[in-house]
Amino acid sequence: MATPRIVVLDGYTLNPGDLSWAPLGALGQLEVYERSTRAELIERARAAELCITNKAPLDAGVIGRLPALRYIGVTATGTNVVDKAAAAARGIVVANVPSYGADTVAEHTLALMLEGVKHLSAHLALGRAAWAHQPDFSVSAGCLSLLAGKTLGLVGFGAIGQRVAELGLAFRMQVLVARRESSRRVALPGVSHEPLDSVLSRADIVSLHCPLTPETESLIDAARLQQMKPGAILVNTARGGLIDEAALAAALSSGQLAAAYLDVLSSEPPPADHPLTRHPRCHVTPHVAWASVEARRRLLEVSIDNVRAFLAGTPANRVV
């Protein structure tokens, strides 16, 4: 059998240089590109049988111009960068990496929640710049509060949502999960399942952990933001498109919400005039919840295992 040509279209965020592509290179003729524009990826992948992508989009138009393509590996859990119908029509296998980052995303979620009640970044800045010039031994940058005793509302209860629930319980929070009638209920001691409207109205902190689908796009819109408890905090480490961002900016400006802590936006990187990146009540990290070295190593390992399984004729983690 001829050595397959494997092209990584946008490998930089997964592996900025601290991991090794060598195990993937052992499986075929490998080319790794840090980033690819649409025009570049068509040229680079024109003769490829296997394409590996994270965010480089493989839509129907692109797939139609890649005649040798037999396999698309997505180095992520979400596969919305691939036109799966177009891939299926061509008999192209599409595989992803499920559940590689539950711990890292859950820990980042908890860090954002702690920032929301402890204002750690502001107090670190005070400790560096202003404490030496204050008359008192203790200097506060704002009202400090506890996670303990607060109500955490989770929208989405897959592997990440369940891990966040466990962390919330460890911090002695009351944990509510928005119930979907069509989904299987995951039983976790100490966790209550309620309708979404009830969760939004009762939670001090609402954290999003559901996939972006046509049904969940702009799930948190102006009406649902008004349902939230006045002074609540919204956390999103899932997908930016879950939130109507203009409506969120308005809810923050009006004081309906105390703050929002986001790791994702609907457009990444965001435009300079994005309504949330400079809002004083919105705090944004640049889509790094997934990116611990341990999670990236696991992501790369499973992506390579997926390629190995495909070449062996037994595709793993197949979504198409």
What is the CB-side half-sphere exposure of residue 72 using CA atoms within 13 A?
32
Decide if 279 is catalytic. no
Give whole-number Cα distances, 94 to 39, 79, 192, 257, 297, in Å.
22, 9, 36, 40, 21
Which residue in 274, 287, 298, 318 is the catalytic one? 287
Decide if 239 is catalytic. yes
Decide if 40 is catalytic. no
Which residue in 193, 224, 239, 296 is the catalytic one? 239
Alpha-carbon distance of 3 to 50, in angstroms, equals 11
∠ Cα 117 137 172 (to 5°)? 25
Which residue in 34, 40, 43, 268 is the catalytic one? 268
Catalytic residues: 239, 268, 287
